[in-house]
Amino acid sequence: MMELFATTAFLFCAALFAFLLAINRVRLYNKLKEPNNNLCATENTCCGEIKLQNGELPAGKLPTRKPPARMPTVMPSDKKAKKVVPLSVNYHFTRKCNYKCGFCFHTAKTSFVLPLDDAKRGLELLKNAGMKKINFSGGEPFIVKKGAFVGELVKFCKQTLGVESVSIVSNGSLVSERWFEKYGEFLDILAVSCDSFDADTNEKIGRQQGQKSHLISLRSVRRLCADYKVAFKLNTVVNTHNKDENMVEEIMQLNPCRWKVFQCLLIDGENTGPDALRRAESFVITNAEFDEFLRRHKDVEYLVPESNEKVRALCLVGSYCYIRPNAVCEPEPRFS
Ligand code: SF4
């Protein structure tokens, strides 16, 4: 009788503990995904950084799982490499894109995409090496297998690896509600490109596919992010075509958690130079023109400027580390 009582009491306590743990995880997880939760407060890369109001990483905010039984068989052999902790990773798994932006600096030089299982294996190695933030980018991430590829990677990183911040940078044109239904719960941040609220300017830049309106896609993605509690970010590249635009009103309406404003940048072999697929020289603006754009938008409190000088400095100290289909870890891209 005593044994039966002890067993019942033990099972009850275990169930209660599991229930409380689950409630706590759901609460923290939802808080983390609120659009205005000061997510991505200080990131230096395209991906988001998760920081709550006090600037500290919330402990135990994500579902944690036991480490996989199968441990990595490939580990860095170089002593120096062991010291590098890849806290924040940008994984450019494809160079293909359905847009033709004239200043694009990650052009379709190859159609190669690593098989899904290999990509997962690489991510597992990065997680074991200390990765806390992963951002998927391209090209256009949603172009591969109609978004299923990036969806599976997002799910794997969040559900299996327990990565703290999982984000995507996209042009937004191929994102569907069906994708959000299947994968939205595993995504923390979706950043969408938006250079102009004028359809003609977007056409001049190449930020659209055929006659499909980029602005309709953008607003649709904004709504989906709100519905599925995914933090929404905006990225803008200031260039000769949009440098005089005033975007304050529309940006305020979209109300992203972050608005990153980049100065158009030349990268040798990508958008300038003999091997480049794009010629971005005519898109380049001066530092003074970039500063003037920033001044015009100074009232947008969540604006984060990324001047060419700042990006170059970050590259030189190795803050930018890209994983591309045809190259691994290029901390110092060549600039013109
Ligand atoms: S949407 Fe991005 S990846 Fe596609 S062409 Fe434009 S800049 Fe390049």
User: Distance from the CA of 245 to the center of ligand 1, in angstroms?
Assistant: 20
Q: What is the pLDDT of residue 210?
A: 86
Q: What sign for the dihedral angle of Cα 91, 143, 263, 219?
A: negative
Q: Is 264 in the active site?
A: no
Domains with residue ranges and CATH for the chain: 2-24+45-56+84-97+108-235+311-330 (3.20.20)
User: Distance from the CA of 36 to the center of ligand 1, in angstroms?
Assistant: 27
Q: Which atom of ligand 1 is nearest to the CA of 207?
A: 6
Q: Are 122 and 89 in contact (CB under 8 A)?
A: no
Is residue 181's pLDDT more than 60?
A: yes
* Higher pLDDT pick, 108 / 120: 120
User: Distance from the CA of 112 to the center of ligand 1, in angstroms?
Assistant: 17
User: Distance from the CA of 4 to the center of ligand 1, in angstroms?
Assistant: 65
Give residues with Cβ within 8 angstroms of 336, minimum separation 6. Answer: 266, 267, 268, 272, 273
Q: What is the pTM of this model?
A: 0.74
Q: Is 47 in the active site?
A: no
Q: Is 329 in the active site?
A: no
Per-chain mean pLDDT for the chain? 79
Q: Which of 95, 140, 238, 324 to mutate to test the pocket of ligand 1 (most atoms within 8 A of CB)?
A: 140
Instruction: Output the residue whose Cα is nearest ligand 1's atom 7.
Output: 104
Q: Which atom of ligand 1 is nearest to the CA of 171?
A: 1
Q: What is the pLDDT of residue 163?
A: 98
Q: Band the pLDDT of 84: cuts 50, 70, 90.
A: confident
pLDDT tens, residue by residue, 13-63: 556 645 554 443 444 344 444 433 333 322 333 322 222 222 223 333 333
Mean pLDDT of 250-271: 94
Share of the chain above pLDDT 90, in %: 60
pLDDT tens, residue by residue, 285-335: 999 999 999 999 999 999 999 988 877 766 655 555 555 555 433 333 333
SS3 sequence of the chain: CHHHHHHHHHHHHHHHHHHHHHHHHHHHHHHHHCCCCCCCCCCCCCCCCCCCCCCCCCCCCCCCCCCCCCCCCCCCCCHHHHHCCCCEEEEECCCCCCCCCCCCCCCCCCCCCCCHHHHHHHHHHHHHCCCCEEEEECCCHHHHHHHHHHHHHHHHHHHHCCCCEEEEEECCCCCCHHHHHHHHHHCCEEEEECCCCCHHHHHHHCCCECCECHHHHHHHHHHHHHHCCCEEEEEEEECCCCCCCCCHHHHHHHCCCEEEEEECCCEECCCECCCCCCCCHHHCCCHHHHHHHHHHCCCCCCEEEECHHHHHHHHHCCCCCEEECCEECCCCCCEC
Ligand 1 pocket, CB under 6 A? 97, 99-101, 104, 106, 138-140, 171, 193
